């Protein structure tokens, strides 16, 4: 069945802020990556946990339906997931489950199902609107986006008030991260992106990774994305994933855990700043 899209549908799914029906949430943070394998989902889980530990009411939305693995990394077997919403069986608020050990809520995806990018535009927009409504009952919503730059990733990134773009020092990761920012720039939403340099062998290496990407953005896009933080390479990360336990629970004093908490503090300042600006 083909997706019949009207002019109104096209306008609604136009991610540019100038669109009169464009919707952006004031408390949704998207986590993106140009490519897979950079630790994006681990980062989303860890950031959600750190924000919950800071006393915030947090929801983690697994927006990578085809390769969803938030539940796998946490050892959960959800009875309801995003697939139930997509198929029209349940509304989004009915598939929320609480991850008691972390003190935050989760909307799980389902690995192996058709990706969100295959959804008709109108249904994708309805899912986005439901997420914005659910977000109003939370302090912060973290959206773990799929890897890449398809229309679903771009839409949810545009809906978020800020996007944290995770990259490593690998050339392919940096190239794909640049492509993400370039496409966001064409849609007018790249000013709300900042960089997380993950798996850095040292803080200095993380700075070099960031500056490599920054230089390309400044030279070719005339943009200067900020640095959200650097996460040092740490064997405790693999250990926590292997044991399906957040690093802030299993190894709270690890280098990577310390780095995550610093990024959580900065994320809170970003949200508070945006909300103050919006209320003026």
pLDDT tens, position by position, 229-243: 999 999 999 999 999
Residue 88: which pLDDT band, with cuts at 50, 70 and 90? confident
* Section 128-146 average pLDDT: 95
* SS3 of residue 194 by DSSP: strand
N- to C-terminal Cα separation, the chain: 46
Q: Which CATH number fits domain 25-279: 1.25.40.10, 3.90.180.10, 3.80.30.20, 3.40.50.300?
A: 3.40.50.300
Cβ-in-10-Å burial (0-12, 13-18, 19+) of 139 comes to: middle
Encoded tokens for 270: 């970003």
Name which of 185, 141, 144 is nearest 165 in CA terms: 144
**Which stretches within 16-103 are classed as H helix?**
40-53, 70-73, 82-86
pLDDT tens for residues 53-73?
A: 999 999 999 987 667 789 999
Q: Which element (helix H / strand E) includes 257? A: helix 255-279
Euclidean distance between CA atoms 70 and 142, whole angstroms: 12
β-strands 104-107, 97-99 pairing: antiparallel
Euclidean distance between CA atoms 178 and 190, whole angstroms: 11
pLDDT at 8 over 50: no
Percent of the chain predicted with pLDDT > 70: 86
Residue 115: alpha-carbon gap to chain centroid:
16
Encoded tokens for 170: 């690998």
Least confident range from 102-106, 141-145, 154-158, 193-197: namely: 154-158
Q: Are 62 and 86 in contact (CB under 8 A)?
A: no
């Amino acid at each position: 069945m083909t997706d019949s899209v009207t002019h109104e549908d096209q306008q609604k799914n136009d991610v540019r802020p100038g669109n009169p029906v464009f919707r952006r949430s004031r408390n949704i943070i998207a986590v993106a990556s140009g490519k897979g394998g950079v630790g994006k989902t681990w980062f989303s889980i860890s950031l959600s946990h750190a924000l919950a530990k800071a006393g915030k009411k947090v929801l983690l939305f697994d927006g990578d339906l085809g390769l969803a693995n938030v539940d796998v990394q946490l050892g959960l077997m959800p009875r309801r997931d995003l697939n139930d919403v997509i198929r029209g069986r349940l509304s989004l608020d009915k598939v929320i489950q609480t991850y008691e050990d972390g003190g935050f809520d989760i909307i799980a995806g389902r690995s192996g199902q058709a990706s969100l990018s295959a959804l008709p535009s109108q249904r994708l927009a309805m899912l986005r609107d439901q997420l914005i409504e659910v977000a109003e009952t939370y302090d912060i919503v973290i959206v773990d986006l799929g890897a890449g730059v398809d229309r679903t990733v771009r839409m949810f990134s545009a809906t978020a008030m800020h996007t944290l773009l995770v990259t490593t020092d690998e050339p392919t990761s940096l190239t794909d991260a640049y492509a993400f920012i370039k496409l966001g720039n064409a849609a007018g939403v790249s000013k709300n992106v900042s960089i997380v340099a993950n798996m850095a062998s040292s803080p200095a290496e993380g700075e070099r990774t960031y500056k490599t990407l920054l230089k390309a953005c400044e030279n070719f896009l005339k943009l200067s994305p900020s640095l959200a933080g650097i996460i040092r390479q740490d064997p405790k990360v693999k250990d926590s994933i292997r044991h399906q336990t957040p690093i802030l629970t299993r190894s709270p004093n690890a280098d990577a855990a310390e780095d995550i908490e610093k990024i959580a503090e900065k994320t809170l300042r970003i949200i508070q700043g945006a909300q103050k600006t919006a209320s003026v």
